[in-house]
Amino acid sequence: MLHSQRTLHPMKILVVEDHLELGQSLAELLRQNGFVVDLVERGDAADQLLGQGHYDLLLLDLNLPQMSGKALLRRLRERGDALPVIILTASDSMDQKVLCLEIGADDYLVKPVDIRELLARMQAIARRQMPGRENLVRCGNLQLDLRTRLFAVQGEA
């Protein structure tokens, strides 16, 4: 499970995906991996949620009703919000990839996405958000390795 830099709580992810079944499947997979997930289908709804609450990561489709993913990303960056953003889209156009990275996306993945790759990229972004943070959390004789998600008691797993 990935954690935010402020506290040891599960990462809160906003998934913005207009294809409801795909969005629900992705949200469920993320929940099974220990994340707190909100799911919306429209760019304007995502913009509203981003203005109201705290998220650790945004998983963003580009082709959205009411406000495109690119428009939402631009708006986010214009507000000075450094929220990490991973684009998840069907478009594998190099021009599209470059444009999204130039306007502020942290990563760009083409659907269908292997959940293992997505989780690894999310972990990489989380590491960049928490430079120098130790992967081990200790409490008495208990130890949790945040990278491997393994517990040890008195040094034994």
* Structure confidence by residue, pLDDT tens digits, 6-22: 344 678 999 999 999 99
* Residue that the structure tokens 């409490």 belong to: 139
Give the span between the Cα atoms of 157 and 150, in whole angstroms: 7
* Residue that the structure tokens 């099974």 belong to: 32
Tell me the CA end-to-end span of the chain in Å, nearest whole number. Answer: 17
Q: Does the reported pTM lie above 0.85?
A: no
pLDDT bracket for residue 32 (50, 70, 90): very high
* Structure confidence by residue, pLDDT tens digits, 113-139: 999 999 999 988 887 765 444 566 777
